[in-house]
């Protein structure tokens, strides 16, 4: 499980810092650095520094969040051929740190060797500079990875080593020192011979070549789990942001719906208020009609006229019938009032007895409550008299 997590973390790592330490002796070092980035399988140099005496001189290039691969060469780093020097290689000796590199022809291996106490002192300096060491490279062997960019069979200067390459692998090597430098064009980047082993170590890192050893396990684990915590945190934050976004969209949708419903309710309340007002006006008019005109056939003018005419004597001629007459003459600006449930009838009759007979006939009607003769008078020169009746119902 740990190996799977490490592979995932380093697979998606797009930047690396290679710190190269060339030992002139135990106390005198030359430090070089390469900060590189990979994008779409193309490695680009971000910045480089050479020939520093102390890591403090590196300044901002020391990015503490980046994985660091340490390349060590020079004094104290031994190169051994196990085919010719097998007896002198301290394979099982804890006082030495070894890295094995297979030969291209399959005939044995090369070993890069450094004393453990010397390596620990170098690691302590790196840790004091807050560098996270995730890999260690010794000697020039990673330069073989750059064979496609170098002329085969021609000597290549890499650090203190003079190398010849054959079929993409180191065919021979010899130590010459670091005085005479050369410049190489690697994919458009100009790389000095002093930085060539560091660049090759960067290529090895992005190619997935990482060796595990007890001296850097803690530092490497801290980097891996630090990145893992960061990825998990970013994933969790993304989930939270997604949930918040969904929550906002749902809330916004509900808010818009609430606004629409509130508008609908407000509009319906206005319509309801208008309807209530209209119903009140209608009720008032119905009451007015019921009060002064009536609500069924028995109170209609025509009905009263039919009832009165059905019992009207032949000698009486009606000239006026007023249902619910005005109490007084109408005047502008004054409310109209009626004589409720009254009928005033006027007409002409030849004799008073005819009027009296009709009055008695009216009083016998079930719908009539009271009949009163208001007036009766005659003109000297006329054969008929004019009368006025008031009928309450």
What pLDDT shows up at residue 251?
A: 92
Per-residue tokens: 187: 């994919």
Pick from 111, 101, 113: which is nearest to 169 by CA? Answer: 101
Same domain, 17 and 162: yes
Q: What is the CATH number of the domain that holds 360?
A: 3.30.1360.100
pLDDT of 196 over the 70 cut: yes
What pLDDT shows up at residue 370?
A: 92
The answer to whether position 344 is within a domain reads yes
Q: Which residue has the higher pLDDT, 212 or 180?
A: 180
Q: Which residue has the higher pLDDT, 134 or 330?
A: 134
Cα separation, 139 vs 197, in Å, equals 8
Same domain, 116 and 215: yes
Task: Choose the final residue of a domain: 188, 220, 252.
Answer: 220
Per the confidence metrics, is the pTM higher than 0.85? no
Per-residue tokens: 283: 């009720």
What pLDDT shows up at residue 258?
A: 92
For residue 11, name the pLDDT band (cuts at 50, 70, 90).
confident
The answer to whether position 240 is within a domain reads no
Range of the domain at 357: 298-392
Task: Choose the final residue of a domain: 220, 240, 263.
Answer: 220
Same domain, 109 and 17: yes
**For residues 66-81, average pLDDT:** 87
Same domain, 30 and 151: yes
Same domain, 302 and 215: no
Q: Which residue has the higher pLDDT, 304 or 169?
A: 304
* 1-5, 132-136, 160-164: the lowest-pLDDT one: 1-5
pLDDT of 152 over the 80 cut: no
Task: Choose the final residue of a domain: 220, 255, 278.
Answer: 220
The answer to whether position 212 is within a domain reads yes
| Number of structural domains the chain divides into | 2
- Answer whether 156's CB lies under 8 Å from 162's CB: yes
143 burial type by CB count under 10 A (0-12 exposed, 13-18 middle, 19+ buried): buried
**For residues 183-189, average pLDDT:** 85
* 232-236, 270-274, 290-294, 368-372: the lowest-pLDDT one: 290-294
3-state SS assignment for residue 73? strand
What pLDDT shows up at residue 222?
A: 66
For residue 131, name the pLDDT band (cuts at 50, 70, 90).
confident
The answer to whether position 257 is within a domain reads no
What pLDDT shows up at residue 106?
A: 64
pLDDT of 67 over the 80 cut: yes
Packed helices 2-11 and 217-292: angle between N→C axes, nearest 10 degrees? 80
The answer to whether position 250 is within a domain reads no
Same domain, 331 and 205: no
For residue 59, name the pLDDT band (cuts at 50, 70, 90).
confident
What pLDDT shows up at residue 297?
A: 43
pLDDT of 388 over the 90 cut: yes
Same domain, 315 and 211: no
Same domain, 30 and 128: yes
pLDDT of 2 over the 80 cut: no
Same domain, 118 and 206: yes
**For residues 163-179, average pLDDT:** 77
Same domain, 210 and 65: yes
The answer to whether position 105 is within a domain reads yes
The answer to whether position 289 is within a domain reads no
The answer to whether position 178 is within a domain reads yes
Share of the chain above pLDDT 70, in %: 85
Pairing of strands 385-392, 370-378: antiparallel
């Amino acid at each position: 499980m740990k190996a799977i997590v490490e592979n995932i973390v380093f697979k998606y790592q797009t930047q690396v810092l290679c710190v190269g330490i060339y030992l002139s002796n135990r106390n005198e070092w030359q430090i070089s650095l390469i900060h590189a980035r990979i994008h779409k399988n193309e490695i680009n140099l971000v910045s480089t520094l050479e020939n520093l005496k102390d890591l403090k001189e590196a300044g901002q290039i020391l990015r503490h969040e980046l994985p660091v691969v340490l390349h060590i060469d020079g004094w104290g780093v031994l190169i051994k051929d196990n085919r010719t020097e097998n007896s002198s290689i301290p394979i099982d000796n804890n006082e030495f740190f070894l890295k094995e590199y297979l030969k291209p022809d399959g005939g044995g291996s090369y070993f890069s060797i450094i004393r453990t106490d010397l390596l620990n002192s170098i690691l302590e300096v790196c840790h004091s500079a807050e560098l996270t060491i995730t890999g260690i490279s010794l000697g020039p062997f990673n330069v073989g990875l750059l064979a496609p960019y170098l002329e085969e069979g021609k000597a290549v200067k890499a650090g203190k080593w003079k190398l010849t390459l054959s079929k993409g692998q180191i065919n021979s090597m010899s130590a010459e020192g670091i005085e005479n430098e050369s410049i190489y064009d690697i994919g458009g980047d100009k790389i000095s011979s002093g930085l060539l082993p560091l660049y090759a170590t960067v290529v090895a890192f992005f190619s997935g070549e990482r060796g595990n050893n007890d001296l850097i396990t803690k530092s490497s684990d801290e980097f891996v789990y630090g990145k893992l915590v960061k990825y998990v945190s970013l994933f969790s934050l993304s989930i939270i942001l997604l949930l918040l976004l969904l929550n906002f969209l749902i809330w916004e949708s509900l808010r818009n719906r609430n606004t629409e419903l509130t508008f609908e309710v407000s509009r319906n309340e206005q319509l309801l208020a208008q309807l209530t007002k209209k119903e009140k006006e209608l009720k008032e008019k119905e009451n007015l009609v019921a009060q002064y005109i009536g609500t069924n056939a028995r109170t209609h003018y025509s009905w009263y006229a039919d009832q009165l005419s059905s019992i009207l004597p032949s000698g009486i001629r009606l000239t006026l019938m007023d249902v619910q007459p005005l109490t007084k003459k109408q005047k502008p600006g004054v409310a109209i009032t009626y004589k409720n449930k009254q009928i005033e009838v006027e007409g002409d009759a030849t004799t008073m007895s005819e009027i009296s007979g009709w009055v008695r006939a009216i009083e016998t009607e079930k719908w009539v409550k009271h009949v009163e003769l208001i007036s009766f008078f005659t003109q000297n020169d006329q054969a008929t008299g004019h009368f006025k009746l008031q009928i309450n119902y």
